[in-house]
Amino acid sequence: MKKTILFLSAVLLIMSACSSTSVAPCTKEECVPAMGIPNWRCDDGTIGGPSCERQQDGTCGWVVRQCSSGSSSSSDTGSGDIVVVSPQENAVVKSPLTISGKARGTWYFEASFPVVLLDDQGNQLATTPARAQGDWMTENYVPFTATLTFATARKHGTLVLKKDNPSGLPGNDRSVSISVQFP
């Protein structure tokens, strides 16, 4: 019995020594420029939004973390303020990219809101306003469309739809991020 306990203790000690050889985490300075989108707290307590993380090739880059399935946040479609019909999460997209859906009138200002396409390094590939396709001065849903023209050699990116916030107050910021793939 003592030999078994000693053996298991030795195995655990070796395993913990092997797992402590982690790579140093990235600093925000290694991921400049910043992505320009906010982080948010998911219902399960995790943080969604941009995170500076070490990539498989050892470099540092931005990753946009989403809330886990079944969890929502004040910055995603769980709030019910915006519904993106196209593109869907992880869709393969190419230029020109047409974005469509519906958003509550409170998402718009002067019948538009900003749409930004980022690559997986946080570089802005394109930006354009999404335009209301009806009377936006309502609390009801109003259809929108936007078209982005872009070029990239990257394979992954993030489409960010931002609630227009003419006040500039951080408490009024909202956004929806959709992971996309490039061919």
pLDDT single digits (tens) 68-112: 544 444 333 334 788 888 998 889 999 999 999 999 999 999 999
**79: helix, coil or strand?**
helix
Q: How many domains does the chain have?
A: 1
Summarize the confidence of residues 3-22 as an average pLDDT: 48
Beta strands in 74-140 (DSSP E): 82-86, 91-92, 97-104, 112-119, 124-132
Q: From the centroid of its chain, how far is CA 51?
A: 9
Q: Within a domain: residue 90?
A: yes
Q: Within a domain: residue 25?
A: no
For residue 131, pLDDT over 80 is answered with yes
| CATH code for position 124 | 2.60.40.2550
Summarize the confidence of residues 149-168 as an average pLDDT: 94
Q: Within a domain: residue 53?
A: no
Q: Within a domain: residue 150?
A: yes
What average pLDDT is seen over the chain?
A: 78
Both tokens of 5, joined, read: 């306990």
Look up the domain containing 137 and give its range.
Answer: 75-181
The residue that leads in pLDDT, 28 or 54, is: 54
Confidence label for 18 from pLDDT (cuts 50, 70 and 90): very low
Asked whether the beta carbons of 179 and 90 are under 8 A apart, the reply is yes
Q: Within a domain: residue 36?
A: no
Report the run of H or E that residue 18 belongs to, with start and end. helix 2-19
Q: Within a domain: residue 39?
A: no
Residue 136, pLDDT score? 92
Summarize the confidence of residues 144-153 as an average pLDDT: 96
Q: Within a domain: residue 174?
A: yes
Residue 2, pLDDT score? 53
Q: Within a domain: residue 173?
A: yes
Both tokens of 44, joined, read: 């399960």
